[in-house]
Structure 1
Amino acid sequence: MADSKAVVRVEHPDIVLTETVTHDPSSKVRSVSEAGTDPTSGKFFYHITSSDFRQFEEGLRNDRTIGEFERVIETGDEEAIYSFVYTDEAKIVSPVISAANGVILDMENDGSAWILTVWMPERTGLASLWDYAQQNDISIELLRVNEYASLGNTNAGLTDSQREALLVAVESGYFEEPRNATLSEVAADLDISQPAASGLLRRGIKRLIISSLMDDSEEPE
């Protein structure tokens, strides 16, 4: 089974460090993959870039997802490695990725959500991440994946409405980065409400993930 590299957008106010990077917009976060994705270590390690670590740490102290933190080592004038202990309120995607033997290659906060570049040795790992997000009310979008079924060549188990919504979204530039169309514009093109368009896209993308990245024997019931 082939490996996969995907870019996903996950959003929830209780995803770890969301409050901190909102408090310090100059900060950038990258997990230290050798230690940061170990779900049994108790501590999670991140490489942090910030123009003002005092502001970053002030954000940490007010971040309800962070119980303890330590600046382990400074690797440059504006770079350091931190360790974090999460609170029970924190929603954590890295252990799910680790459990699938995956690695977070890059992570960036766009102001309200995290953009994760994830490598998975087994294609089913991405479906596990999707299921975890849905179970925890985390908004998740698939932005890019290196193996993706052609909408024009297969229905992938999509309903006609899901297929139409995805094609309209692709053609309008909704999946581009930055986006060339908003969800409301996609909904207007489909002549449906914005919540209805969002639901069609979410269900259609999940169906594509299952169809494209999982063998028939592995498809969930």
Structure 2
Amino acid sequence: MSTIANIEIPADEFALHDTLVAVSDLELDVERVVAHDDERVMPFIWVSSDHMDDVERAFENDASIENLELLSDLGEERLYRMDWTTEIEVVVQILVEADATVLDAFGTDGRWEFRILFPEREALSMTHEFCEENGLTIDIQNIYEMDADRHGRFGLSEAQHETLIAAFEHGHYEVPRDITLDDLADELDISHQALSERFRRAYSTLIENTLIVGVGDEE
């Protein structure tokens, strides 16, 4: 069964560590990443910082990257294509050996966060064993098993998924609403309190596994 895992890797064991150290407010959001072979990985990365000149200088001095190309410049946010050439053993293992897909990747503040779709649970176990055998750090935050439905991709339970879909189809999110919470609870044959709690848990799960990927704590 396919499995989605949220993992963290220390920045000092991964590509672009020197750049992350050099620019304190830097945020790296990977749009897409592919592996050419077992020595080179090519990501497309959105780079955000208030100090883009510092970022450019840091890129020039970062030995972990080659073939840097600016694709889009939006001021304080830019899209780059580059090659990662060192400190990429974990990602090569994930993409090449485990045949997995990187759904999200985010680097900032001394760490990299990944959300990865593994074709089967065993592939995740193989990746974890690879890291242990090679002295690499991988911190598995969450694991979600995918079933025949797509709700597992975001960590939703089947009941939470069905509730959100039913709410949408019955116009609960329309303005004004086409159905009240009481009527929706009757439609789902659950109590008003149970429906409210299911909504709360579903929203929390969706936010955590979509919007919060890569967002650090803020005061």
Give the drift of 1:74: 0.6
> Which stretches in structure 2 are left out of the alignment for 5+ residues?
146-214
Distance 1:119 1:63 in 2: 29
- Tell me whether 1:95 sits opposite 2:89 in the alignment: no
Give the corresponding residue for 1:54. 53
> Which stretches in structure 1 are left out of the alignment for 5+ residues?
148-176, 180-221
Distance 1:110 1:72 in 2: 20
SS at match of 1:55: helix
Give the drift of 1:43: 5.4
Give the drift of 1:94: 2.3
Distance 1:47 1:92 in 2: 19
Give TM-score, length-normalised by structure 1.
Answer: 0.55
Give the corresponding residue for 2:20. 21
- 2:125 aligned to 93, 114, 127, which one? 127
Give the corresponding residue for 1:156. none
Contact 2:27 2:108 in 1 (8 A): no
- For 2:35, the aligned partner's letter is D
Distance 1:69 1:23 in 2: 20
Distance 2:83 2:102 in 1: 18
Distance 1:110 1:81 in 2: 16
Distance 1:49 1:117 in 2: 18
SS at match of 1:37: strand
- Tell me whether 1:77 sits opposite 2:75 in the alignment: yes
Percent identity reads: 19
Cα-Cα RMSD: 2.8
For the structure 1 residues 127 and 43, does the alpha-carbon distance in structure 2 shift closer, same or farther, using more than 3 Å as the test? closer
Give the corresponding residue for 1:6. 5
Contact 2:101 2:116 in 1 (8 A): yes
Contact 1:10 1:139 in 2 (8 A): yes
Give the drift of 1:30: 3.0
Give the drift of 1:73: 0.7
- 2:112 aligned to 109, 114, 123, which one? 114
Distance 2:13 2:74 in 1: 29
Distance 1:29 1:78 in 2: 12
Distance 1:127 1:97 in 2: 11
Distance 2:124 2:6 in 1: 10
For the structure 1 residues 43 and 134, does the alpha-carbon distance in structure 2 shift closer, same or farther, using more than 3 Å as the test? closer
- For 1:135, the aligned partner's letter is E
For the structure 1 residues 86 and 45, does the alpha-carbon distance in structure 2 shift closer, same or farther, using more than 3 Å as the test? closer
SS at match of 1:146: strand
Give TM-score, length-normalised by structure 2.
Answer: 0.56
Higher radius of gyration, 1 or 2: 2
Distance 2:73 2:42 in 1: 17
SS at match of 2:12: coil
User: What is the aligned residue count?
Assistant: 145
Distance 1:54 1:135 in 2: 39
- Tell me whether 1:44 sits opposite 2:59 in the alignment: no
- Tell me whether 1:138 sits opposite 2:149 in the alignment: no
Contact 2:20 2:110 in 1 (8 A): no
- For 2:118, the aligned partner's letter is M
